Each structure stands twice: as C-alpha cells, then as structure tokens.
Amino acid sequence: MPTTGPTDDPVDALVIGAGAAGLFYAARAGEAGLRVLVIDHAAKPAEKVRISGGGRCNFTNLHTGPGNFISQNPHFAKSALARYTPQDFIDRLARHGITWHEKTLGQLFCDGRSGAIIDMLVSELRDVGGQLRLNTTTGAISKTDGGFTVETSGGLVRADRLVVASGGLSIPKMGATGLAYDIARQFGHAVIPPRPALVPFVFEGRDKEDFASISGVACPVRASTKRADFNEAMLFTHRGLSGPAILQISSYWAEGETISLDLLAGRDALAALTAFKAEHPMKAFATALETLMPNRLVDLLAARGAIPDVPRLADMSHAAIESVLADLSNWTIRPAGTEGWRTAEVTAGGIDTRRLSSRTMESRTIPGLYFIGECVDVTGWLGGYNFQWAWASAHAAAQA
C-alpha cells in the first residue's frame, strides 16, 4: 500500500476523493513529477469501481462521444474526451495484463473482477510515489497566496493545487457526500441542482400493484421522453420499472412528466399479427400478441383493458389490429418518482461548467482549484460512459 500517516511537507496536489477520477488523476500527475496526496473518508479506495458493472466494471464504451453525456453545456466534455479516448484506457489495461470483453453496444467489461482495476489504480499511484490516506475527513479549506490549506483528520495539509474528486450524491451508504458542491459554492462556483440519474422508477396505486404482479418480467422497449429515447430492455419490479431502457430515460426525466413506452419496439408487429391471423383465424388476439411479448405482460395488458378481449382474430379488422398496436407502441405512464439516491448509479447536475476550463477542469476564477469526475455537471449514459468521463476529466486536469 502507499504510505499513510500525517505529512507536514506541502504537496503539489491534494486530491479529495480516492475514487476512479481521483486515483487516476493522482497517478497521471505523479508521472508528470508532482508530489501528490489523495485523501478519502472511506476505509477502502474506489468502492464504486468494485461494485460497478455487477462486479466486473464496465470501464468504458467504444462508442464514447459528447452525445452520450448530459450537461447544461453539451460542448464542455468534448475537449477532455477527445484527448483521452477509450483506446487509451484499453492500452493501459493491456500494460497491466487486465483482459476484457465487449458485452453489447460497445460496453467493455473486465473478464475478471473489477478489483483488478482498483489494484491498477492504486499500484500506479504507489509507483509514482503518491500517498493515499484513507479514513481521513476534510474540514475547513482556505485559499492562501501560494495555494490551499486543508484541515483534515490527519493534520493540516498545504498544497499548490486542490483537486476535488469526491463524486456525487448517489448511494450515500457507500460514502457519497455533497462535499464537492460545498467546496464549489465556497469558492463562488454555481451548482446545477443535483438529481438522481440512471435510477429505477417507482409507481403508486394501480400501476404499482400491476407492475409488482409481474415483477421479474423483461421485454425490449423504446422508452422516450420529450428529450431522448432509448431502445433497450425494460424490467418490471416490485416497486415499478427498471432495466437499461428505464435507467437511461430516467436521466432525462423531470418530476411529474410522463414517459412513453413502445412495447413492440424493434419488431414489425403488424406484419407478424397479419400473418398469424391468416394462419390461425380462430385464435384469440391475446394469443397472437404472445408471439411478440411475454405472456404475463399480455395478461396484465388484458386485465388493464389495454388490449381488447377478442376470442377470434377473424372477427378483428385490419384497422382494429392496427389501432391496438398503435396504442401499444405508445403506452404512456406517469412515474410517481424514482428510487432516489439509494439506488441511483450517478448524479445528474453538479458543478456548473461555466466557470471551469474545458481543457484542464481548472476553475477560471480560483487558480489551482480543479473539479473532476462525477461532481462536475457532466453525466454519462449507462454503459461505461461515466468511467470514461472520470478517466478523461482526470487526464485533462493532470495535463495542466
């Protein structure tokens, strides 16, 4: 392990947060010759890396581009993403002997456990002589002529640069705090109101009961709001809806809005049902629909009156079939809310990018103050984009 314990010597860079962004920054800055200290209040580094991707860390996405990120300024992430690409990270993994595979949609996962990436991050920090101090809380921060002084539970730290990498608010049980936002505000930076993203929806009343009754059923859908749409799987849960399509659209959803679900996405339902009708005119409409979606979902739609009770397809006109399919392609529901910070994979919103340099992540008003990773108002889609932002924003800051 890197050295721990108090240091009275000033450091070139103090990093708050030993997560993906903080550790990656520290190793890059150390390579560039900086004396770096990383502090974290948690007992272990990078716990989110450990649990990510179901324990195999979806560490990047081959298709990463600025369009995969949500921010008040859609241009902000461009520079950092262009200067540190998924291939750069893949090359680094190769140097450490970490093998990986593509799952789907460009999502790259470790072949083994995600702990291999944490080991890589920590060993790279050690190799450049960086220090890691865990179980260390942060107190008052002051700007001095030459840099910053930070009170910590391990003593006063003086640093030329202060790099804030303490993440967002998602999963407080894992140590998430709003420290980055407090530091930003202290130094005059605005914060776009943080909100839970990549998070399941919850429902109330009849919807909640209905969805719970088919908990575990999954189907491909296109989930849309006014601002975005995603073609991926959806999962019914005891509390509402989850699955990749729902997590993705949750990042674009605003409280009180409806979402639209195309339950027949990706299939030519009209052609399939017309052919089925020609072959089985005496079968029920519901039976025909079961060739296109899970039986339990068809039963639920029938119980809700969303599909007609037609015992013989022969009695149903082409126009009537078309009209029911149109409704199923635009099933509009209103979530009561989300599961909130308890299960949100990321935080949308965060430190306003307007006063940050997109080249270096440095404050435009407080020289030497940097914000990297999830605390910044740049939020990736599901699928490895958030880690790619952590690596890329850290790399950009370390280049400064």
Ligand X SMILES: Cc1cc2nc3c(=O)[nH]c(=O)nc-3n(C[C@H](O)[C@H](O)[C@H](O)COP(=O)(O)OP(=O)(O)OC[C@H]3O[C@@H](n4cnc5c(N)ncnc54)[C@H](O)[C@@H]3O)c2cc1C
Q: Is 20 in the site for ligand X (CB under 6 A)?
A: yes
Q: Of 132 and 366, which CB lies nearer to ligand X in the complex structure?
A: 132
Residue 145 CA: distances (Å) to CA of 149, 159, 160, 229, 368 = 10, 11, 9, 49, 11
Separation CA 161–CA 368 (nearest Å): 4
Query: Which residue of 21, 81, 118, 321 would you call a contact of ligand X, by CB under 6 A?
Result: 21
b/e for 316-329, b at 16 or more Cβ within 10 A?
Answer: beeeebeebbeebb
Q: Which of 68, 71, 131, 138 binds ligand X (CB under 6 A)?
A: 138
**What is the amino acid identity at position 348?**
A
Site for ligand X in 54-73 (CB under 6 A): 57-58
Number of H helices, E strands in the chain: 13, 21
Q: Which two tokens stand for residue 44?
A: 């272990």
The pair of structure tokens assigned to 332 is: 């509009």
Closest distance to ligand X from the beta carbon of 236 (Å):
20
Asked if 147 touches ligand X (CB under 6 A), the answer is no
Name the minimum Å distance from CB 44 to ligand X.
8
40 near ligand X, judged by CB under 6 A: yes
**53, 147, 220, 368: residue in contact with ligand X (rule CB under 6 A):** 53
- Cα 320 to Cα 82, 323, 324, 370, distances in angstroms: 51, 5, 6, 60
For residue 384, state whether it binds ligand X (rule: CB under 6 A): yes
User: Rule CB under 6 A: is residue 362 a binding residue for ligand X?
Assistant: no
Q: What one-character DSSP code corresponds to residue 198?
A: S
Contacting residue, 390, 392, 397, 398, with ligand X by CB under 6 A: 390
Burial of 67 (0-12, 13-18, 19+ CB in 10 A): exposed
* Binding of residue 346 to ligand X (CB under 6 A): yes
From 265-273, 318-326, 349-357, 378-386, give the range in contact with ligand X by CB under 6 A: 378-386
200 touching ligand X, by CB under 6 A: no
Q: Which is nearer to ligand X, 166 or 250 (CB)?
A: 166
179 near ligand X (CB under 6 A): yes
* Nearer residue to ligand X within complex by CB, 172 or 266: 172
Q: Provide, rounded to whole angstroms, the least separation between the CB of residue 333 and ligand X.
A: 25
Applying CB under 6 A, among 124, 229, 232, 345 the residue interacting with ligand X is: 345
Neighbouring C-alpha atoms within 13 Å toward the C-beta of 314: 6
b/e map 353-367, b = 16+ CB within 10 Å: bebbbbebbbbeebe
* Interface region with ligand X, contact rule CB under 6 A, candidates 70-78, 161-169, 252-260, 288-296: 161-169
Contact of 32 with 74, CB cutoff 8 Å: no
Nearer to ligand X, 63 or 296 (CB): 63
Contact segment (CB under 6 A) with ligand X among 13-21, 223-231, 287-295, 328-336 equals 13-21
Q: Using CB under 6 A, which of 106, 115, 175, 294 touches ligand X?
A: 175
Token pair, residue 212, equals: 């719970």
Q: How many CB atoms lie within 10 A of CB 231?
A: 16
- Of the candidates 358, 396, 390, the one whose C-alpha atom is nearest the C-alpha of residue 22 is 390
How many residues bind ligand X, per CB under 6 A? 36
Return the residue nearest ligand X (CB atom). 19
Return residues touching ligand X (CB under 6 A). 16-22, 40-42, 48, 51-53, 57-58, 137-138, 165-167, 170-171, 175-177, 179, 345-346, 373-374, 384-387, 390
